[in-house]
């Protein structure tokens, strides 16, 4: 006869925890969190997050799928690794934060207009075309994403920095017409194809 399930232990083996273990990079370590709060106290921007890493891990174990995947908290992670070096259970917290953000994005659940998310997408789109970042187009995107008037105001407030970059040759106005390309375009495409292949292989691995 099967041993009776302890009802109080059920939330800690939620379906969502299994899903995170399966789909999120580093997710298999979430169950190791002992809720000491060191990561929450170490995070330089933690006070501005809706949910600290400690709380996110508790919510995952409690099965709060919509709340976890819909929050912008993990998008705020700056990869400073303060939490990782201090965690007594050695959780790869930074990896899990980025893994959760990327999983939410894959499912279409990431909050729209979240600045880090928007910038990540714009950055990828920018370098994907040529293999190199077009600094001018990326800068213009950053300034004008909120509209023309807002963009002009922002650009004006940063005019000294912009002029300094122009003088130092760090910003080339001619890049508006296309810009430079990576030398080994074939190698670049092969690298991206390989990365996609690895992702597909991981996704096709047996679940549980």
Binding of ligand SF4 by 37 (CB under 6 A): yes
Task: Write the CB contacts of 53 (distance below 8 Å, at least 6 apart in sequence).
Answer: 39, 40, 43, 83, 93, 96, 97
Binding of ligand SF4 by 29 (CB under 6 A): no
CB of 154 to ligand SF4, least distance (A): 25
Whether 168 and 160 have beta carbons less than 8 Å apart is answered as: no
Binding mask 84-113 for ligand SF4 (x = CB under 6 A): ---xxx-x-xx--x----------------
Binding of ligand SF4 by 59 (CB under 6 A): no
CB of 90 to ligand SF4, least distance (A): 8
- Give the tokens for residue 6: 């302890």
Whether 17 and 31 have beta carbons less than 8 Å apart is answered as: yes
Q: Which is nearer to ligand SF4, 82 or 134 (CB)?
A: 82
Binding of ligand SF4 by 73 (CB under 6 A): no
Task: Select the residue interacting with ligand SF4 from 42, 56, 59, 68 (CB under 6 A).
Answer: 42
Q: Which is nearer to ligand SF4, 95 or 126 (CB)?
A: 95
Binding of ligand SF4 by 54 (CB under 6 A): yes
Whether 146 and 119 have beta carbons less than 8 Å apart is answered as: no
Closest listed residue to residue 56, CA positions, set 32, 38, 40: 40
User: Under rule CB under 6 A, how many of the chain's residues touch ligand SF4?
Assistant: 27
- Give the tokens for residue 55: 């709380």
Distance of alpha carbon 46 from alpha carbon 59, whole angstroms: 16
CB of 33 to ligand SF4, least distance (A): 3
DSSP string, 71-97: -SGGGG-----HHHHH-TT---HHHHH
Task: Select the residue interacting with ligand SF4 from 26, 27, 53, 99 (CB under 6 A).
Answer: 53
CB of 41 to ligand SF4, least distance (A): 8
């Amino acid at each position: 006869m099967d041993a009776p399930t302890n009802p109080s232990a059920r939330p800690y083996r939620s379906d969502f925890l299994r899903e995170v273990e399966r789909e999120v990079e580093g997710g298999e370590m979430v169950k190791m969190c002992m809720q000491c709060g060191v990561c929450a106290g170490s995070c330089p921007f933690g006070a501005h997050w809706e949910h600290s890493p400690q709380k996110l891990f508790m919510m995952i174990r409690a099965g709060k799928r919509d709340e976890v995947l819909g929050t912008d908290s993990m998008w705020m992670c700056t990869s400073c690794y303060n939490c990782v070096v201090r965690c007594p259970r050695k959780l790869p917290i930074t990896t899990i934060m980025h893994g959760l953000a990327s999983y939410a994005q894959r499912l279409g659940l990431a909050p729209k207009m979240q600045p880090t998310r928007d910038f990540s997408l714009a950055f990828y789109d920018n370098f994907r075309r040529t293999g190199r970042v077009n600094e001018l187009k990326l800068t213009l995107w950053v300034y004008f994403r909120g509209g023309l008037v807002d963009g002009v105001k922002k650009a004006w407030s940063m005019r000294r920095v912009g002029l300094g970059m122009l003088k130092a040759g760090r910003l080339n106005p001619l890049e508006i017409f296309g810009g430079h390309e990576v030398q080994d375009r074939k190698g670049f495409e092969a690298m991206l194809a390989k990365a996609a292949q690895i992702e597909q292989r991981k996704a096709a691995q047996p679940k549980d």
